[in-house]
């Protein structure tokens, strides 16, 4: 009998058809603007028409090398603007102290106690400063994604942010806690991810986020130990509940100094008894636990699957996962050579990978800014990204963003279309491909738009719809495309092109 649950499963999102032979062997087929744009969408944040031309004009290997062996980023801003409090102290660290009563339970919500109103005011003021800092943090990173000469570094950092997902603005993570973690992720973006995991266990934002700062000998707190294995390194099914409890003991005493925010190992709160973890017994530390984890065959497989789902396609075949895992193991978790293999591989340039992912909101927004040649992100974009379902530094949970079909629902799709409407309005009034040349016949403009924005990935029927729209068919007042209506019509046609399904796909 067919299991009714299986029978009602929704369509899987693994591409149809068989995996190519030697999926990770270097791709040797033709190289063109369509594949160059594909590489830039996946390994960067898309590109302007001229970025795509440049990549298409090189060899595939040169285009990949330019991403992996990236130039210095010293010219970029050193970090977000630091928001000051009234005394001119950056709110990052040390944090503004509040009266002790604020940490205690709220007054009875039924009636406001006038004695607490001063505290309420102080809380509001602090909240406002914190929100301004949050906004500064996010716009700083979005701007960096947009203009960095090392876009792969930013893309890997975004990947790692989803992998080691930590949210700011909660659990005492404020100011630049999350920015410091972001620099850590960026430092190891193409580096050694075992080393990164050791550092993550000492990262202030992470110590707060998963409560390890409060993980003490007398009362072990399992939150970090559990997620370390479940979400960061091994995946469910590769350890037991007992391994969680034992490794939580190993991480006792991993905390940070309240005054400086620096990591510190509190020996007095560390449980130095024997622990048994994944078959190893001894007075294990948290770092021993991480080293043991990285000897497990499940670890490279876990990273391989997550990487494939982010950079290649959903639900990758076990054979493909194993092949990437072997590459990770061979390179001892040094990721530059792994990504180099992936971005040159047969499978990466195969039809099954092309447009096989849904653009994340960040990819959608930054890619659109790049498309029209904007070089700064409007701060209001943070709110737009919120409606699309992804604000950097604010993942919904420690699981990060699921991606894929989870990006798509009525609400988020409308937010994407409304963003497209806004950005095309701005683009029509600045200089870019929409207005670089004098008006051509509607048919040629429609073709050009779908080529520039979608690499030609539109049906002939949709190109014809664009042409009709450009020529004002179906409306009474306006005539054919002309100098007079050019700006307005090109804006509308670009908006329509960005609303096509292909533009939602990477």
Partner 1 sequence: MQRSRFLIGSLAGLTVSANATDLFAKALAMPALPNVAPGAVDDRVLIVINLQGGNDGLNTVVPYGMPNYYRYRPTLGISPHDVLDLDNTIGLNPQLAPLKAMYDKGQVAIVQGAGYPNPDHSHFRSTEIWQTAEPEHYVSTGWVGRYLDEADLPESNLFNAVALAPVLPAVMVGRRVDVPAIAALRGYGLSSDGNVGERAAFATVVHDDRVPFSSPYLATVATIEDHAQRGSEELPKLIAGYASQATYPATPLGRSLSLAAQIVGSRLGTRVIYVQHGSFDTHAAQKPTQDRLLHELADAVKAFYDDLAAHGEEKRVLTMTFSEFGRRVAENGSRGTDHGEAAPMFLIGGGIAGGLYGKHPSLDALDNGDATFTTDFRSVYATILEKWFQRPTTGVLAGSFPTLPILT
Restricted to residues 308-327, the positions that interact with partner 1 (CB under 8 A) are 313-314
Nearest to 436 by CA among 38, 35, 50, 37: 50
d(CA 253, CA 242): 19
Candidates 77-85, 175-183, 321-329, 419-427; binding stretch for partner 1 (CB under 8 A): 419-427
For partner 1, the binding residue among 211, 287, 317, 487 (CB under 8 A) is 211
Query: Token digits for 413?
Result: 């799709």
| Minimum CB–partner distance for residue 421 and partner 1 (Å) | 4
Candidates 65-73, 324-332, 337-345, 469-477 — which segment interacts with partner 1 by CB under 8 A?
469-477
The answer to whether the Cα torsion of 96, 98, 100, 105 is positive or negative is negative
Q: Is 7 exposed, middle or buried (0-12, 13-18, 19+ CB in 10 A)?
A: exposed
Q: Looking at beta carbons only, is 145 or 466 nearer to partner 1? A: 466
Instruction: Give the residue among 183, 173, 175 at the shortest CA–CA distance from 144.
Output: 183
Among 187, 198, 214, 280, binds partner 1 (CB under 8 A): 214
Interface residues for partner 1 in 9-38 (CB under 8 A)? 9-16
465 scored as a contact of partner 1 (CB under 8 A): yes
Distance CA 166, CA 206 (A): 7
- Rounded to whole angstroms, what are the CA distances from 51 to 131, 199, 217? 35, 35, 55
Q: Which of residues 115-154 bind partner 1 (CB under 8 A)?
A: 131, 135
- Cβ-based nearer residue to partner 1, 140 or 374: 374
- Type and span of the H or E element at 204: helix 204-209
Report 373-392 residues binding partner 1 (CB under 8 A). Answer: 373-387, 389
| Residue of 1, 4, 18, 279 interacting with partner 1 (CB under 8 A) | 4
CB nearer partner 1, residue 231 or residue 338: 231
Q: Which stretch binds partner 1 (CB under 8 A): 40-48, 154-162, 331-339, 460-468?
A: 460-468
CB of 240 to partner 1, least distance (A): 12
Long-range contacts of 330-333 (CB under 8 A, 24+ apart): 332/192, 332/194, 333/192, 333/193, 333/194, 333/195, 333/294, 333/300, 333/303
Q: How far is the CB of 189 from partner 1 (least distance, A)?
A: 25
Selection from 358, 385, 401 nearest residue 501 by Cα:
358
Judged by beta carbon, residue 179 or residue 335, the one nearer partner 1 is 179
Q: Is 402 helix (H, G, I), strand (E, B) or coil?
A: coil
Q: Which of 419, 428, 444 is nearest to 373 (CA)?
A: 428
Give, as ranges, the residues between 150 and 189 that touch partner 1 (CB under 8 A).
Answer: 171
332 to 191, 326, 504: CA distances (angstroms): 10, 10, 35
List helix spans (H) across 8-116. 33-43, 49-57, 60-68
The one segment of 22-30, 50-58, 433-441, 452-460 that binds partner 1 by CB under 8 A = 452-460
Contacts of 375 (CB under 8 A, 6+ apart): 146, 147
Pick from 69, 397, 444, 479: which binds partner 1 (CB under 8 A)? 397
**Nearest distance from residue 501's CB to partner 1, in Å?**
4
Phi–psi pair at 405, nearest 5 degrees: -60, -25
Cβ closer to partner 1: 24 or 358?
A: 358
Q: Which stretch binds partner 1 (CB under 8 A): 47-55, 117-125, 182-190, 354-362?
A: 354-362
Query: How many residues are recorded in the chain?
Result: 506
Out of 189, 357, 481, 490, name the contact with partner 1 by CB under 8 A: 357
Least distance CB 364 / partner 1 (angstroms): 12
Question: Could you say which residues in the range 218-277 bind partner 1, by CB under 8 A?
Answer: 218-219, 221-223, 226, 230-231, 236, 241, 244
Contacts of 69 (CB under 8 A, 6+ apart): none
Using the contact rule CB under 8 A, the part of the chain among 80-88, 158-166, 199-207, 407-415 near partner 1 is 407-415
Taking the least distance from each CB to partner 1, the nearer of 175 and 327 is 175
Nearest-approach distance from CB 483 to partner 1, in angstroms: 18
DSSP state of 349: T
CA 327 to chain centre: 23
Q: How far is the CB of 332 from partner 1 (least distance, A)?
A: 29
């Amino acid at each position: 009998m067919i299991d009714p649950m299986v029978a009602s499963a929704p369509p899987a999102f693994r591409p149809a058809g068989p995996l190519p032979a030697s999926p990770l062997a270097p791709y040797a087929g033709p190289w063109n603007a369509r594949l160059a744009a594909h590489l830039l969408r996946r390994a960067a944040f898309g590109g302007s028409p001229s970025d795509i031309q440049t990549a298409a004009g090189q060899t595939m290997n040169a285009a990949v090398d330019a991403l992996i062996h990236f130039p210095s980023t010293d010219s970029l801003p050193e970090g977000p603007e630091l928001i000051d409090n009234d005394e001119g102290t950056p709110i990052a660290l040390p944090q503004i102290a509040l009266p002790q009563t604020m940490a205690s339970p709220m007054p009875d919500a039924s009636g406001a106690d006038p004695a607490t109103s001063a505290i309420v005011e102080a809380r509001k003021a602090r909240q406002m400063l914190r929100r301004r800092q949050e906004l500064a943090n996010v716009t700083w990173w979005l701007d960096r994604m947009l203009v960095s000469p090392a876009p792969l570094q930013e893309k890997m950092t975004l990947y790692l942010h989803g992998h080691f997902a930590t949210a700011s603005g909660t659990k005492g993570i404020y100011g630049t806690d999350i920015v410091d973690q972001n620099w850590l992720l960026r430092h190891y973006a193409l580096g050694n991810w075992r080393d990164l995991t050791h550092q993550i266990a000492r990262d202030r934002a992470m110590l707060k986020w998963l409560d390890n700062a409060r993980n003490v000998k007398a009362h072990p707190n399992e939150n970090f130990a559990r997620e370390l294995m479940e979400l960061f390194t091994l995946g469910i099914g590769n350890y037991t509940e007992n391994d969680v409890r034992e490794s939580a003991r190993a991480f006792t005493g991993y905390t940070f100094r309240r005054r400086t925010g620096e990591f510190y190992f509190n020996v007095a709160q560390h449980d130095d008894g024997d622990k048994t973890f994944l078959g190893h017994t001894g007075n294990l530390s948290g770092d021993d636990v991480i080293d043991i984890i990285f000897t497990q065959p499940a670890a490279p497989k876990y990273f391989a699957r997550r990487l494939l789902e982010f950079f290649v396609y959903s639900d990758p075949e076990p054979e493909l996962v194993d092949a990437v895992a072997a590459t990770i193991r061979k390179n001892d978790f040094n990721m530059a050579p792994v990504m180099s293999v992936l971005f040159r591989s047969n499978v990466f340039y195969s039809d099954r990978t092309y447009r096989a992912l849904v653009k994340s909101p960040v990819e959608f927004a930054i890619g659109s800014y790049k498309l029209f040649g904007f070089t700064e992100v409007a701060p209001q974009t943070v709110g737009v990204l919120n409606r699309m379902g992804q604000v950097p530094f604010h993942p919904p949970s420690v699981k990060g963003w699921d991606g894929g079909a989870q990006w798509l629902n009525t609400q988020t799709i409308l937010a994407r279309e409304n963003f497209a409407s806004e950005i095309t309005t701005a683009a029509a009034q600045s200089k870019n491909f929409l207005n670089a040349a004098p008006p051509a016949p509607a048919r040629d403009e429609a073709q050009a738009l779908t080529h520039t924005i979608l690499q030609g990935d539109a049906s002939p029927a949709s190109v014809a719809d664009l042409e009709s729209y450009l020529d004002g068919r179906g409306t009474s007042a306006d005539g054919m495309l002309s100098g007079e209506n050019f700006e307005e019509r090109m804006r509308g046609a670009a908006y329509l092109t960005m609303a096509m399904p292909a533009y939602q796909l990477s």
